Amino acid sequence: MKIRRAAAAAVLLAAILALAGCVDKKDNPGTTTERPSVSASGDERDNGEYEAGRDGRVNDTDDENSIVSDMPETNEGTPRVSEGDENARPSDVTDDGIVTGTGGTDTTVTANEAAFASSYIEKMSLNVKKICWGLGKERDSANRPIDAVNAEKKYASLGGKFLANDGRICLTFDEGYENGYTAQILDTLKEKGVKAIFFVTYDYCRTAPELVERMIAEGHVVGNHTWSHPSMPDITQKEVWAEVTKLHEYVHDEFGYDMSLFRFPKGEFSEQTLEDVQHLGYTSLFWSFAYADWDPNAQTDPAETLAKIEDSTHSGIYLLHAVSPTNAKLLAPLIDFWRDKGYTVGAEW
């Protein structure tokens, strides 16, 4: 309902600004909504469209049948109220979250209006600062990394997942490109009766479709690792949405499979990009164990690596890269070790 008195509007506005923590959010470090712009490489068009081709660029289409068409209307990183919330917006709350007054006599503020303003300010305070996910050496009594325990609490409301439930080990592989080891990994998983999660990019799906088909056919989970593997906090909000939705649609169209799990490239994220991914219906799966296995030319000794993973064993999410010959070699004894310790190994967390 409309707020009729300017005094009442001023009081409510002051409360909103207090909740935001500042008079002008642009002057408050940590709440800026500006994102770094894409460098002028020729890929960005004047009309804001992006090509989707073998070079990995995404195309922001206006196809009404595309979920990409639900993207934000600007390239800025400003958090928006989702389209589904528009009907709940009180008529006197503007797109900027400000409650207006018209100088009338009715001073009643409905609960819906107050709740909307509070929710809007909370979304406005999401930080766009890049966070590079990594783990320290400190562990709790259950051998879980303290950093993962804290992140699980901090980012759960934004769809972030960092640990597995007690007694579970969630096995995940990142697939940026195929290096000849995924078939061997799939053979081992089939032999051991274990399911895993494989996070794929567009380039991987395009160049190794038979392996993606096998993952799906053998009951593994295929996750979204973006279209072109960018650092998500470094691109515009429109590009963030496109990186996720273009791959989602491609996998749906090519393989008849709908993905629901997401992994940030290089583990680089922000609170805002977490919320963007969550808005698209995805859970962001991070990890509580990883080691330097992504360089095929710098592989550690399998026995040394196995000992390291065994020493770090806990109920968590394990990240391995399928480009690693070491991982392909140690996977079978590793699964046996975990099972001997009483853990359930699979794609569940």
Q: Is 96 one of the catalytic residues?
A: no
Annotation marks residue 252 as catalytic? no
Local structure of residue 36 (DSSP, 8 states): P
DSSP collapsed to 3 states, 238-251: HHHHHHHHHHHHHH
Of 225, 229, 248, 321, the active-site residue reads: 321
Count Cα atoms within 13 angstroms, Cβ side, for 194: 27
Q: Count other C-beta atoms under 10 Å from residue 32's C-beta.
A: 15
Q: What is the DSSP letter of 26?
A: G
Residue 225 near residue 264, CB atoms below 8 Å: no
Q: How many angstroms separate the CA atoms of 199 and 233, rounded?
A: 19
The residues facing 285 across adjacent strands are 161
Query: Within 13 A of 204's CA, how many CA atoms are on the CB side?
Result: 29
Question: What distance in Å separates the CA atoms of residue 229 and residue 201, rounded to the nearest whole number?
Answer: 7
- Up-side HSE of residue 105: CA atoms within 13 Å toward CB? 0
Q: Which of 60, 92, 174, 203 is flagged as catalytic?
A: 174
Nearest Cα neighbor of 237 from 68, 54, 62, 52 is 68
DSSP H or E run through 214: helix 209-217
Catalytic residue set: 174, 321
